Every structure is written in C-alpha cells, then in structure tokens.
Amino acid sequence: MNCSAGVLLTSAGRRVELLECFRAAARELGLNAPIFACDHEPTLSAACARADGAFKVPRCDDPTYAEAVRAIVAKTGVNLVIPTIDPELMSLSEARSSFDELGARVHVSDPATIAVVRDKARTSQVLDSAGVPVPRTQTLAALRAEPVLLSWPVFLKPTGGSASRGLAVINRQEDLPANVDEPMIAQDYLRGPEFTINMFVKADGQLSAVIPHVRLSVRAGEVEKGRTERRTDLRLIAEGIVTALPGLRGVVCFQVIDDAVLGPRVIEINARFGGGYPLAHAAGATFARWLLEEAAIGSSTAHDDWVEGVEMLRYDAAVFRGFP
C-alpha cells in the first residue's frame, strides 16, 4: 500500500499514545499520512505538541464545533477523523455527511446509537432487553420513592457522565442526595474484578476482534496497569452488544465488573477509543492500522489473533518546549 492519507485526532489532550499508534500504523502501511490534532487549548496539549500540526477549536459543546473540525479537514485534506471523548460524539455523528462530501470518514457510530450509549439509563434498558447482563438500574427519583427496588449499598452515577465524573457509593436510603445538578441513575453495587473489553466492528457491521483486559489499577478513570485475558463469556457479551446496537462501527470499548455472585455485568459502553487501547494495540489488535486500511482502501485486515497475558504498566512522561 502506498497512497496518501491523513488523520485528525480531536480533543487530543494527552492522547500521545494513541497518536503514536496511528503514526506507527501509517509507517507500517507505507502511507503518507500526517497525524494532526486539535484541542480547545492546543498550546497546553501534549498530543498537539507531538502532532504534525495542531489546531485550536471551540469547546466540543459549542454549536460551531463540528463545523470547526470540518474546516480543519478541508484545509489539511485528511481522510480520517478520530474523536476521543464522549461529549463530542453526537455533534460529529450528526455532521458525518458533511465530512463525507470532503472524502473524510469520521470514526463514529450513527446518531441513534450514540444517543443510546451516551445515556446510561437507556444503555441499561436496551442491553437488558437484548439479554445482555447488566446491573439492575433505577432512576434516582424511582429509588427515592421505592427504596426496595435495589439492594443497599447502591452505585450512583450521572446518566450522561464520562471520565468517572460524579460517581458515588450510597450506603443508606437517607444518604441519597436531595438535589442533583443532572439526571442520575442508581445501580446494584457490584463487587469483583473490573474488565475493559476493546472490540473492533468493521464498516460492514461484522464484529472482528474482542480483546478483554483486567484493570489491575486505575487512575483518573483510565487503566494504569492491565493484562489481556481471553474470556469466552466476555466474547459472548460483546456479540450481544453488537446485536443490541447494530449501528456500532469501528472501535468500541465497554466495562464489565465480574461480580462474585451475579457474574459479569456491563456497566458502561464507550463508542470510541478507550484510554486503555494501547494495551490492545501492543497485544496485536492494531485498531489504528485497521481504521487506516478502511479509510485508504475500503477494507481492513482486522482479526482476533491477539496475545493473551500482555501487561501494561503505565508511567508519567512529559513534553518539553521552549529550548533555545
């Protein structure tokens, strides 16, 4: 393969590892593929500092955000846009056709799918209806009115939260918050090891790879230490999710807690690259390469032949600037 391509990472922030995965994949494929990045504060973004070019954009909740990203695509000629955070998914999904006009693919599922996965109450309902194991889930209002709907303690989280924001364990009914700033749901409080499952869904909807890793240590909502494990039960859950959400495309990750009594239960789905993706990449599930292949030639070499027992031990690194 020897053709031109280009990638734009949006909300790039600290995603240096992800940027370097795309850079390495482009080299392996022989692609002339500069890796650009954009962020609300690009001068303070490590990924923007490492990119081949960086751009400032409005915050992702700004109504002009998708158009600003599209303008970068028009200027650079990239043909693959990679969102990295949940709050930007809907605006970019709704604008996909305008990117198509430029010959660029936005790596995002359709709006109906994003609407489900961005609402944790709806996620639970849709998966439960499809037979995918989830914790029992109630709205905060319903639990206040009928506390016996769940066993105590309960796990409280925002219906549209991300990055571990607003999570709380509530031990007693009287400890439920009287006022909240956003809609909340309560779920069974699960006890057991937590897994992230990275999966790749081809452009035709085929589930091609499922790579679980146990989260040995977590910092700021992202896996700090992890190890890949093959689990038939988690593969079956991934297949159930794809059946329940047929609009999923590309890279998706979901979280599971393997409760000692209830067994594995899905607690969250992210229709994007997760923070722990570099572990799957190191194990041989090179999602970045497969997306570049789809963008460049319309098909990929996606497979499920990855290595079990690969461990990731993350550490802090820094980008330095300002030298004479």
- Summarised one tens digit per residue, pLDDT across range 95-146 is 999 999 999 999 999 999 999 999 999 999 999 999 999 999 988 888 888 8
CATH code assigned at 84: 3.40.50.20
Round the average pLDDT of the chain to a whole number and report it: 93
Q: Which of 59, 88, 107 is the last residue of a domain?
A: 107
Same domain for 288 and 211, yes or no, is yes
Q: Is residue 114 domain-resident?
A: no
Instruction: Please report whether residue 127 resides in a domain.
Output: no
Domain shared by 300 and 198, yes or no = yes
Residue 1 included in any domain: no
- pLDDT above 90 (res 288): yes
Q: What is the pLDDT of residue 163?
A: 55
Q: Report which of residues 182 and 99 the model is more confident about.
A: 99
In this structure, the answer to whether residues 171 and 195 fall within a common structural domain is no
Residue 72 has pLDDT above 50, yes or no: yes
Task: Give a yes or no: residue 129 inside a domain.
Answer: no
Distance CA(10)–CA(70), nearest Å, equals: 11
Strand boundaries in the chain, DSSP class E: 7-9, 35-39, 53-56, 80-82, 105-106, 137-139, 154-158, 168-170, 184-188, 194-201, 207-219, 222-228, 250-259, 263-270, 311-313
pLDDT recorded at residue 4: 62
Question: Which is more confident, 173 or 165?
Answer: 173
pLDDT of residue 158: 85
Q: Which of 243, 140, 255 is nearest to 197 (CA)?
A: 255
178 & 205 share domain: no
Number of structural domains (the chain) is 3
Predicted TM-score of the model (pTM) = 0.92
Evaluate whether residue 303 is within a structural domain: yes
Q: Does residue 176 share a domain with residue 63? A: no
Q: What pLDDT score does 162 carry? A: 59
Helix (H, G, I), strand (E, B) or coil at 60: coil
Please identify, among 107, 126, 159, the residue that sits at the C-terminal boundary of a domain.
107
**What is the domain range of residue 17?**
7-107
